[in-house]
Amino acid sequence: MRRATRAGGAPQRYSAASLFRHGLTHEDWERVWRTVEMRRSYDAVVIGAGVHGLATAYYLASNHGMGNVAVVDKGYVGGGGSGRNTAIIRSNYLTPEGVRFYDRSTRLYENLSATLNFNVMFARRGHLTLAHTDASVRTMRWRAEVNKLEGVESEVIGPDEVKELVPFMDTSTKTRYPILGALYHPPGGIIRHDAVNWGYARAADSLGVEIHQGTEVTGISTDRGRVTGVTTSRGAISAPVVVNCTAGWASLVATMAGVRLPIITHPLQAAVTEPVKMFLHAVVVSGSLHVYVSQTDRGELVFGASTDPYASYSMRGSLEFTEELATHVLELMPSISKMRVLRQWAGLCDITPDFSPIMGVTPVDGFLVDVGWGTYGFKAGPAAGEAMAELVATGKTPESIAAFDLARFEEARLVGERGAAAVGH
């Protein structure tokens, strides 16, 4: 096995001092990652240069010394879901295994700027999940209780405290769906998603990982139940391990290896407004009204909602999405009706039957999956990458992802996050 090596010696450090030097000398910055010829063989091929694929490759090289890894992507770094999500980080899930997993991810995110020497701008803003019915108050309390037992900060707060955190919120009882309370999760926040992708790509590259953009996987080769490599739009690669880290195309890629996944692909849309001066510090989510909103440092409101109501690979977006979104946002904050939607876009989400991911081995030896991330994949990227790297390097499924295996669907061991979905309405 080729040991991880630095591509061109130690990478250039980013810091205030280097920025200052650069400002004076105007020398070019070192390239953020290399463009190199694709080789014919690697120790592992990761499909998908999003946060999951890049984090997997990075932790393979950094934690396990496996740098002879190629990350291939049909588009560009972070061009899929990793660059299209609304960049919310939180760990206030419902099941203990979910909470532990996302807590690990949040902790990795909190230190990621220093780890990668790339400012990913993680901003701890506090995260509010509003409850408009007594059933959802109960679910919020359920989540809060599980969170606390797992050591994650969460509590149920009342409408007055919601108003204090979000002065623009209509917490009166005159609305159609009055706010009865909220799950308040102080560690939740937002991040610069592109920076995470680039930071991982740069750091992985510096440890020898090769990133091949514009390289579409067209087939996965197997021999007697073992994966042997991939064919791409730029030629074949042989590798004993292939990791499917795609979102939106997970079923199609898995099918190339003969693996059938319990996934339906739905578009998830998002929109952003024109900037205004900061007025919304917290991240606000309303499950009943199917909307989430945060304000970036640039002053834009970033909105998301539930996935489109039918399966589709279309990323064109729809008008009804923005209409429903606006309706619901204005129910929460009626005074911002004059703000304008500047841009809408869509990403693809692979939804599984239990609203939990699929990570680990498949019936094809050496073909691993890190897929089915639905609408919550970005926030899991670091922890998923860390665990997948461990699986690739050691051949053993780490405890943290054991509950999320593919076999659970055939063996009816579904994960209980669907419990939250079922009682959340």
- The helix or strand, by DSSP H or E, that contains position 283, with its residue range, turns out to be strand 283-286
Shortest distance in whole angstroms from residue 214 CB to other proteins: 8
Query: Please, which residue, 324 or 365, has the CB nearer to other proteins?
Result: 324
Q: Does 394 bind other proteins (CB under 8 A)?
A: no
| Binding-site member from 144, 207, 283, 349 for other proteins (CB under 8 A) | 144
What is the distance between the alpha carbons of residues 320 and 306, in angstroms, rounded to a whole number?
Answer: 12
Cα–Cα dist 344/400, whole Å: 35
Residue 235 backbone dihedrals phi, psi, to 5 degrees: 115, 175
Binding of other proteins by 58 (CB under 8 A): no
**Contact stretch for other proteins (CB under 8 A) within 225-233, 362-370, 397-405, 415-423:** 415-423
Contact between 176 and other proteins per CB under 8 A: yes
The number of residues that bind other proteins (CB under 8 A) is 124
- Binding residues for other proteins restricted to 352-391, rule: CB under 8 A: 353-354
CB 391 within 8 A of CB 101: no
Q: For residues 294 and 166, is the Cβ–Cβ distance under 8 A?
A: no
From 42-50, 236-244, 339-347, 385-393, span contacting other proteins (CB under 8 A)? 339-347
Q: Per CB under 8 A, does 402 bind other proteins?
A: no
Compute the distance between CA of residue 286 and CA of residue 179 in angstroms, rounded to an integer.
10
Restricting to residues 299-328, name those near other proteins by CB under 8 A.
299, 309-314, 316-320, 322-323, 325-327
**DSSP of 37-49:** ---SB-SEEEE--
Q: How far apart are CA 21 and CA 382, in angstroms?
A: 32
CB of 128 to other proteins, least distance (A): 17
**∠81-402-349 over CA atoms, to 5°?**
20
Span near other proteins by CB under 8 A; candidates 63-71, 140-148, 360-368, 379-387: 140-148
Residue 72 is a binding residue for other proteins (CB under 8 A): no
> Contacting other proteins (CB under 8 A), which of 5, 7, 32, 400?
32
Contact flag: residue 213 with other proteins (CB under 8 A): yes
Phi and psi based region of residue 387 (left: phi greater than 0; alpha: psi -120 to 50; beta: remaining): alpha
Pairing of strands 235-238, 226-232: antiparallel
Which residue number, 96 or 240, has a Cβ lying nearer to other proteins? 96
Q: Phi first, then psi: what are they for 188, rounded to 5°? A: -65, 155
1 or 149: CB nearest other proteins: 149
Nearer to other proteins, 29 or 225 (CB): 29
Tell me which DSSP letter residue 234 carries.
T
Using the minimum distance from each CB to other proteins, give the nearer residue, 158 or 309. 309
How many residues would you count in the chain? 425
Candidate residues 108, 336, 361, 365; the one interacting with other proteins per rule CB under 8 A: 336
Query: Which pair of tokens denotes residue 104?
Result: 């690990």
- Which one, 259 or 393, has the nearer CB to other proteins? 259
Can you tell me which of 38, 157, 330, 361 binds other proteins, judged by CB under 8 A?
Answer: 330
Q: How far apart are CA 143 and CA 153, in angstroms?
A: 11
For 2, the token pair is 């080729």
Among 55, 89, 182, 261, binds other proteins (CB under 8 A): 261
Distance, CA of 99 to CA of 90 (rounded, Å): 9
**264 touches other proteins (CB under 8 A):** yes
Q: Is 256 in the site for other proteins (CB under 8 A)?
A: no
Stretch that binds other proteins, among 37-45, 47-55, 217-225, 296-304 (CB under 8 A): 296-304
Least distance to other proteins, CB of residue 230, Å = 18
What are the φ/ψ torsions at residue 240 (nearest 5 degrees)?
-80, -15
